[in-house]
Amino acid sequence: MPLITLPDGSQREFSQPVTVAEIAKSIGSGLARAALAGRVREGDSEQARLVDVSHEITDDAEVAIVTAKDPDGLEILRHSTAHLLAWAVKELFPEAQVTIGPVIDNGFYYDFSYSRPFTPEDLEAIEKKMTELARRDEPVVREIWNRDDAVEYFKSIGEHYKAEIIASIPEGETISLYREGDFIDLCRGPHVPSTGKLKVFKLRNVAGAYWRGDSNNEMLQRIYGTAWATKEEQDAYLTMLAEAEKRDHRRLGRELDLFHMQDEAPGLVFWHPKGWALWQQVEQYMRKVYQEGGYQEVKGPQILERSLWEKTGHWENYRDNMFTTESENRYYALKPMNCPGHVQIYNARLHSYRDLPLRYGEFGQCHRNEPSGALHGMMRVRGFTQDDGHIFCTEDQILDECVAFSRQLQKVYADFGFNEVLYKIATRPEKRIGSDESWDKAEAALIESLERIGVDYQLAPGDGAFYGPKIEYTLRDAIGREWQCGTIQVDFSMPGRLGAEYVDANDQRRPPVMLHRAILGSLERFIGMLIENYAGAMPPWLAPVQVVVCNISESTADYAKSVAETLQQQGFRAEADLRGEKITYKIRANSLQKLPYILVVGEKERQSGQVAVRVRGGQDLGTMPVEEFAQLLQEDIAQRRQVESVAAVSPKQP
- Show which residues are catalytic: 339, 368, 386, 388, 390, 470, 516
Strand partners, 222: 111, 207
Task: Specify the amino acid at residue 264.
Answer: E
Cβ neighbours of 223 (radius 10 Å): 25
Give one DSSP letter per residue of 518-542, joined into a string.
Answer: EEEEEHHHHHHHHHHHTTT---TTT
Displacement of CA 450 from its chain's centroid (Å): 23
- Rounded to an integer, what distance in angstroms lies between the CA atom of residue 625 and that of residue 556? 16
- Rounded to an integer, what distance in angstroms lies between the CA atom of residue 36 and that of residue 52? 7
Contact 453, 403 (CB under 8 A): yes
Peptide bond preceding 7 in cis form (omega within 30 of 0): no
Contact 200, 230 (CB under 8 A): yes
Contact 477, 457 (CB under 8 A): no
Q: Which of 399, 401, 394, 386 is nearest to 294 (CA)?
A: 401
Q: How far, in Å, are 296, 318, 385 from residue 336 at the CA level?
A: 21, 9, 10
Count H helices, E strands: the chain? Answer: 20, 36
Three-class secondary structure of residue 140 per DSSP = coil
To 10 degrees, the CA torsion angle through 42, 45, 51, 57? -20
- Rounded to an integer, what distance in angstroms lies between the CA atom of residue 412 and that of residue 278? 16
Task: Specify the amino acid at residue 201.
Answer: F
- Rounded to an integer, what distance in angstroms lies between the CA atom of residue 5 and that of residue 16? 15
- Rounded to an integer, what distance in angstroms lies between the CA atom of residue 190 and that of residue 407? 45
Q: Which of 126, 92, 115 is nearest to 218 (CA)?
A: 115
Q: Strands 358-367, 296-297: parallel, antiparallel or unpaired by DSSP?
A: parallel
Cβ neighbours of 597 (radius 10 Å): 27
Three-class secondary structure of residue 500 per DSSP = coil
Task: Specify the amino acid at residue 537.
Answer: A
282 phi and psi angles, rounded to 5 deg: -65, -45
- Rounded to an integer, what distance in angstroms lies between the CA atom of residue 586 and that of residue 561? 15
Q: Strands 547-551, 574-577: parallel, antiparallel or unpaired by DSSP?
A: parallel
Contact 551, 557 (CB under 8 A): yes
Cβ neighbours of 212 (radius 10 Å): 15
Q: How far, in Å, are 54, 79, 154, 167, 175 from residue 143 at the CA level?
A: 11, 17, 15, 18, 8
